[in-house]
Amino acid sequence: RVFAFRDARWAPDPVLAPSAAVRSPQPAPLVIDNGSFQTRAGWACPDPSVPAEPLLRFRSLAARSRGARGGAGAETQVGNDLGSPEPLRWLLRSPFDRNVPVQLELQELLFDHVFQRLGVSSQGCVDHPIVLTEAVCNPLYSRQMMSELLFECYQVPKVSYGVDSLYSFYHNRRQSWPCSGLVISSGYQCTHILPVLEGRLDAKNCKRINLGGCQAAVYLQRLLQLKYPGHFAAITLSRMEEILHEHSYIAQDYTEELQKWRCPEYYEDNVHKMQLPFSNKLLGSTVASEEKQEKRQQQLRRLQELNARRREEKLQLDQERLDRLLYVQELLEDGQMDQFHKALVELNMDSAEELQSYINKLSLSVEQTKQKILQSEVNIEVDVVDSKPETPDLDPLGSEQSLEDVESINEFEPLFAEEQPEVEKPVTAAVQPVFNLAEYHQLFLGTERIRAPEIVFQPSLIGEDQAGIAETMQYVLERYSKEQQAILVQNVFLTGGNTMYPGLKARIQKELLEMRPFQSSFQVGLASSPVLDAWYGARDWAVEHMNREEGWISRKDYEEKGGEYLKEHCASNVYVPIRLPKQAPRAAEAPGRASGTGNPGEQ
């Protein structure tokens, strides 16, 4: 159960040549699933020569590097052109705040990347209709800026907005449309509970939980960084996302599952070990003992030579100073008092007694240094002599053994062979490492496999004061009558990338079983492809409504009704126009102004 991190690099998206069926007999709609985690784009064309799948899939990220001094300007990379997000983590920018696009400059970079790589060849404009996903209950300002970008910058003929989870619900419809159901959509930033009645979203009773895959990855990163502080830098967000996608699961009963993990046998059977990359060179490799001993001897010789050189330099300096002091003392003995006093002043001394004291100290220091030098030379000679191999004297008495004595020794040799100590065994050339380096670079995933995805059911695990999926789902259902509740729970639909954990469907069924009346029925279904069904549903809708006016916002509608205008359809939000408060008529203000001009002093 040792798994290696893939650390896969993103391959740059190629520039695709569009099929002729995309242009004739009329421009085919371009479907863009504008998600906060990943952008998916492709054509909605009934022609079989056009692939019915997204041709582009890339992370909704952009990085603008600073230009080199004296070189080219700043370079902007988008999506898969980044290669890997970790080296550029501090440069990465996203147009989204939660799941709402707010940075339109970055959104324009993503659109440019899509249109360029899909081979949109029209000059100065994009003459294809656009089907674009947006967030549930998207703010009017965000839709206004998006419409302004598409109509003013790209000159698109018409655009349609829809909710990604409702497109997925539309693609996976198991009953005759329109149908009702309860959509549970969990994505990268948010989780939504969406009631759908008769094919239309009931926006008044929608609820959002501000938790998703991003928060789970950050929580898992903190858990493992606290558990393995020695591998702090190696525990990256990209690797945490890989663990969430491939090694995590939802516990049907979280408390009982934690009790199971306390059992050593269960832990050994279910723990996943993630192997971090490492190099054997860090251990210093297993070097033969003889080579190590030789290196130590060389280091010892270098230290001895260095110490001997320092002692000689010190001895030379002390001897020169001692000679100077003795010369001054000779001046005193010869009676040259003037020169003697000048010399004392130069030496910063006051009397002949102080001069004699310094002479005695320096003489003692010189003698000690000479003795140390002689002793070190003797030690070096002894080391050289001891390092020569010695042949052991096997027969110190010089007596010769007879043939009978040798044979008798050979007879008793097997009896004493078992009692030979292990010291006499030959020393192996290689030294075994002290610990297993590969095991040191392993991350043991135990309860972390269930703790990270559990936050959508228990947000209090990360300190969030929000309700989980079960409480929010019960709150939404209680806002309807019993008959409507029974209709909604017959089609509980799970979609979104954060719903792909094993065991999530069983957990939702368990929660519904606890909150629903006795012997009542319900059905829980999972999207056939929770990640891509939003794009597939948008494509299905675009193909069916290609020649209709329903759901499409034309340029005329944009100019007359504003950028926030929305034409509703089966997978769209509910349009709530802006209602401005009525202003008081200016005619009523005129008398007041006229009366105020009569008395200048009051003004």
Q: What is the DSSP letter of 402?
A: P
Q: Is residue 284 part of a domain?
A: no
Going by C-beta distance under 8 Å and a sequence separation of 6 or more, which residues neighbour residue 376? 304, 307, 308, 311
Q: 542, 424, 520: which is closest to 26 by C-alpha?
A: 542
Higher pLDDT, 402 or 358: 358
Position 313 confidence tier, pLDDT thresholds 50, 70, 90: confident
d(CA 365, CA 131): 94
Averaged pLDDT for residues 214-231: 96
d(CA 58, CA 37): 9
157 and 235 fall within a common domain: no
65 and 140 fall within a common domain: yes
Q: What is the pLDDT of residues 187-197, one digit of tens each?
A: 999 999 999 99
Of 361, 377, 393, at which residue does a domain stop? 377
Higher pLDDT, 289 or 260: 260
Dihedral over Cα of 314, 320, 323, 329: its sign: negative
Determine which of 11-25, 160-174, 370-384 has the lowest per-residue pLDDT on average: 370-384
Averaged pLDDT for residues 277-294: 67
d(CA 444, CA 391): 55
Per-residue model confidence (pLDDT) at position 288? 56
**Looking at the predicted structure, is the pLDDT value of residue 588 above 60?**
no
d(CA 572, CA 545): 14
**Looking at the predicted structure, is the pLDDT value of residue 416 above 60?**
no
Q: What is the DSSP letter of 530?
A: T
222 and 348 fall within a common domain: no
* 272-275 vs 2-4, strand pairing mode: parallel
Q: 401, 381, 415, 408: which is closest to 308 by C-alpha?
A: 381
Per-residue model confidence (pLDDT) at position 307? 84
Q: Which domain holds residue 314?
A: 295-377
User: Strand, helix or coil at 33?
Assistant: strand
Of 329, 353, 377, at which residue does a domain stop? 377
d(CA 446, CA 347): 77
Strand partners, 197: 200
Position 44 confidence tier, pLDDT thresholds 50, 70, 90: very high
Q: What is the DSSP letter of 79?
A: G
Q: Is residue 382 part of a domain?
A: no
Higher pLDDT, 67 or 85: 85
CA distances from 464 to 67, 566, 589 (A): 41, 34, 52
**Looking at the predicted structure, is the pLDDT value of residue 80 above 90?**
yes
d(CA 169, CA 191): 15
- Give backbone dihedrals phi and psi of 96, rounded to 5 degrees, phi first: -105, 140
If you write DSSP's letter for every residue of 287-319 in order, what string do you get?
--HHHHHHHHHHHHHHHHHHHHHHHHHHHHHHH
Averaged pLDDT for residues 216-236: 96
Q: Is residue 29 part of a domain?
A: yes
Tokens 């230290």 belong to 303
118 and 85 fall within a common domain: yes
Domain count, the chain: 3
Position 584 confidence tier, pLDDT thresholds 50, 70, 90: low
CATH number for the domain spanning 542: value is 3.30.420.40
d(CA 496, CA 36): 12
Determine which of 24-33, 246-255, 314-323 has the lowest per-residue pLDDT on average: 314-323
Q: Is residue 600 part of a domain?
A: no
Averaged pLDDT for residues 150-161: 95
227 and 360 fall within a common domain: no
Q: What is the pLDDT of residues 337-389, one digit of tens each?
A: 888 888 888 888 888 888 888 888 888 888 888 888 888 776 655 554 444 44
Averaged pLDDT for residues 331-338: 81
554 and 506 fall within a common domain: no
| CA-CA-CA-CA dihedral for 65, 67, 69, 72, to nearest 10 | 150
Q: Taking the model in full, what pTM does it have?
A: 0.72
Averaged pLDDT for residues 321-344: 83
Q: Is residue 401 part of a domain?
A: no
Q: What is the pLDDT of residues 421-449, one digit of tens each?
A: 444 444 444 445 456 888 899 999 999 99
Question: For the chain, what is the radius of gyration of the CA atoms?
Answer: 42
Q: What angle, rounded to 10 degrees, do the helices at 469-477 and 504-515 form?
A: 40
Strand partners, 77: 63
Q: 58, 53, 54, 55: which is closest to 11 by C-alpha?
A: 58
Higher pLDDT, 310 or 392: 310
Structure tokens given for 303: 């230290």
Higher pLDDT, 408 or 73: 73
CATH number for the domain spanning 474: value is 3.30.420.570
d(CA 366, CA 319): 7
Q: What is the pLDDT of residues 533-571, one digit of tens each?
A: 999 999 999 999 998 999 999 999 999 999 999 999 999
Q: What is the pLDDT of residues 476-513, one digit of tens each?
A: 999 999 999 999 999 999 999 999 999 999 999 999 99
Q: Is residue 289 part of a domain?
A: no
**Looking at the predicted structure, is the pLDDT value of residue 173 above 50?**
yes
| Size of the chain, expressed as the number of residues it contains | 603
Environment class of 215 (CB within 10 Å of its CB; exposed 0-12, middle 13-18, buried 19+): buried
**Looking at the predicted structure, is the pLDDT value of residue 5 above 70?**
yes
CA distances from 492 to 145, 183, 193, 503, 527 (A): 34, 6, 10, 15, 11
CA distances from 564 to 125, 576, 578 (A): 22, 9, 9
If you write DSSP's letter for every residue of 104-171 in order, what string do you get?
HHHHHHHHHHHHHHTT---SSS--S-EEEEE-TT--HHHHHHHHHIIIIIS--SEEEEEEHHHHHHHH
Q: Is residue 577 part of a domain?
A: no
What single-letter amino acid sits at 101?
P
270 and 328 fall within a common domain: no
Per-residue model confidence (pLDDT) at position 587? 54
Averaged pLDDT for residues 203-211: 96
* 30-34 vs 442-445, strand pairing mode: unpaired
Per-residue model confidence (pLDDT) at position 341? 82
Q: What is the DSSP letter of 284?
A: T
265 and 324 fall within a common domain: no
Per-residue model confidence (pLDDT) at position 282? 47
**Looking at the predicted structure, is the pLDDT value of residue 594 above 50?**
no
Position 281 confidence tier, pLDDT thresholds 50, 70, 90: low
d(CA 456, CA 278): 34
562 phi-psi bin (left φ>0, alpha ψ -120 to 50, beta other)? left
Q: 15, 133, 33: which is closest to 80 by C-alpha?
A: 15
496 and 512 fall within a common domain: yes
Determine which of 275-279, 326-330, 539-543 has the lowest per-residue pLDDT on average: 326-330
Of 377, 412, 427, at which residue does a domain stop? 377
Averaged pLDDT for residues 82-110: 92
Q: What is the pLDDT of residues 235-267, one digit of tens each?
A: 999 999 999 999 999 999 999 999 999 999 999
213 touches 244 (CB < 8 A): yes
140 and 111 fall within a common domain: yes
Position 52 confidence tier, pLDDT thresholds 50, 70, 90: very high
Q: Is residue 179 part of a domain?
A: no
Averaged pLDDT for residues 515-530: 94
- Give backbone dihedrals phi and psi of 35, rounded to 5 degrees, phi first: -90, 155
451 and 365 fall within a common domain: no
17 and 136 fall within a common domain: yes
Per-residue model confidence (pLDDT) at position 583? 66
